């Protein structure tokens, strides 16, 4: 008489153990692949923002999309980063201004690992305030620099991937500051921060080169137009 073969308890436990082992092996690999994909998307979005700045500059007699507003630099739409992004919006697929984080069209302004932005209605990509003056000139908008004003554009920050803060600037003592109280976010592979530069380079910069602190030196080489490129970069 034929009898149907059924798994014994031991065989069933062995199968479950093998499946559990495979899941334990594959999940980290899948997580790393997902993280790498998000990093690539992040770099591509910063590249698109840079290309938007090139089109803006071509249309603006060589001036960079500097967004510092002297009338009220610490409120709402007048944050340097958001004002700059508003200038770029129509060059990267939006009609008039940057959408708020997590609304349609806002994806390009925010790293896919931080789509909620950094502050109220402020994106997770920060823009350097070194694109123009932050005092003096004709208010309410302080004047932007032209690319030709820079001694070197290599290593001069345009956008940076951050986990807090509203703008990338320099403290009175010459150190970098992601004001207010921001920090860079090495959320990508090898503890790197994704950044774009005025020479067109878009890359992940190791925190060994760019230390992970809220204020670090020598900021002047990364942001000031009248200084050469950062040493050893």
Q: Is the pLDDT of residue 52 over 90?
A: yes
Higher pLDDT, 19 or 162: 19
Domain of residue 196, residue span: 13-223
Q: What DSSP character marks residue 182?
A: B
Q: How far apart are CA 45 and CA 188, in angstroms?
A: 14
Q: Is residue 96 part of a domain?
A: yes
- Asked if residue 229 belongs to a domain, the reply is no
Report the pLDDT value the prediction gives residue 178, as an integer from 0 to 100.
55
Residue 168 located in a structural domain: yes
In this structure, what token pair is assigned to residue 84? 């700059």
Q: Is 5 among the domain residues?
A: no
Tally of domains in the chain: 1
* Rounded Cα distance, 43 and 193, in Å: 10
- CA separation (Å) from 232 to 41, 155, 190, 195? 27, 10, 19, 17
pLDDT band with cut points at 50, 70 and 90 for residue 193? confident
Instruction: Report the interhelical angle of 80-88 vs 9-59 (nearest 10°).
Output: 80
pLDDT for residue 161 is more than 50: yes
Residues 104/93, Cβ–Cβ less than 8 Å: no
Predicted TM-score of the model (pTM) = 0.77
Helices (H), 70-168: 80-88
Report the distance separating Cα 176 and Cα 170, nearest Å: 5
Distances, alpha carbon 200 to alpha carbons 53, 106, 159, in Å:
10, 22, 11
CA–CA dist 125, 46 (Å, integer): 8
For the stretch 53-72, pLDDT in tens is: 999 999 988 989 887 655 54
Write a three-state SS string for 141-170. ECCECEHHHCCCCCCCEEEEEECCCCEEEE
Tell me how far CA of residue 198 lies from CA of 131, 139, 208, in angstroms: 9, 25, 21
Mean per-residue pLDDT over the chain, rounded: 76
Closest CA to 222 of 165, 134, 152, 166: 152
Asked, for residue 49, whether it belongs to a domain, the answer is yes
CB 170 within 8 A of CB 216: no
Residue in the block written with tokens 């003592």? 173
Q: Is residue 4 part of a domain?
A: no
Whether residue 105 lies inside any domain: the answer is yes
Decide if 230 is inside a domain: no
């Amino acid at each position: 008489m034929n009898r149907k073969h059924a798994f014994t308890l031991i065989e069933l436990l062995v199968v479950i153990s093998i499946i559990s082992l495979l899941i334990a092996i594959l999940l980290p690999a899948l997580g790393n692949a997902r993280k790498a994909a998000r990093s690539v998307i992040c770099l591509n979005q910063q590249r698109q923002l840079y290309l938007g700045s090139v089109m803006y500059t071509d249309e603006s007699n060589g001036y960079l999309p500097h967004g510092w507003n002297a009338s009220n630099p610490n409120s709402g739409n007048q944050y340097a980063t958001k004002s700059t992004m508003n200038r770029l919006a129509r060059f990267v697929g939006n009609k008039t201004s940057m959408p708020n984080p997590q609304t349609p069209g806002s994806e390009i302004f925010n790293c896919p690992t931080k789509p909620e932005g950094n502050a109220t209605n402020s994106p997770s990509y920060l823009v350097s305030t070194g694109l123009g003056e932050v005092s003096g000139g004709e208010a309410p908008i302080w004047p932007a620099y032209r690319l030709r004003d820079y001694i070197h554009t290599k290593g001069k920050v345009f956008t940076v991937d951050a986990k807090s803060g509203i703008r990338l600037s320099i403290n009175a003592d010459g150190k970098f500051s992601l004001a207010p109280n921001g920090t860079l976010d090495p959320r990508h592979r090898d503890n790197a921060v994704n950044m774009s530069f005025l020479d067109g380079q878009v890359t992940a910069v190791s925190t060994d080169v760019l230390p992970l602190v809220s204020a670090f030196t020598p900021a002047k080489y990364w942001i000031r137009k009248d200084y050469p490129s950062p040493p050893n970069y």
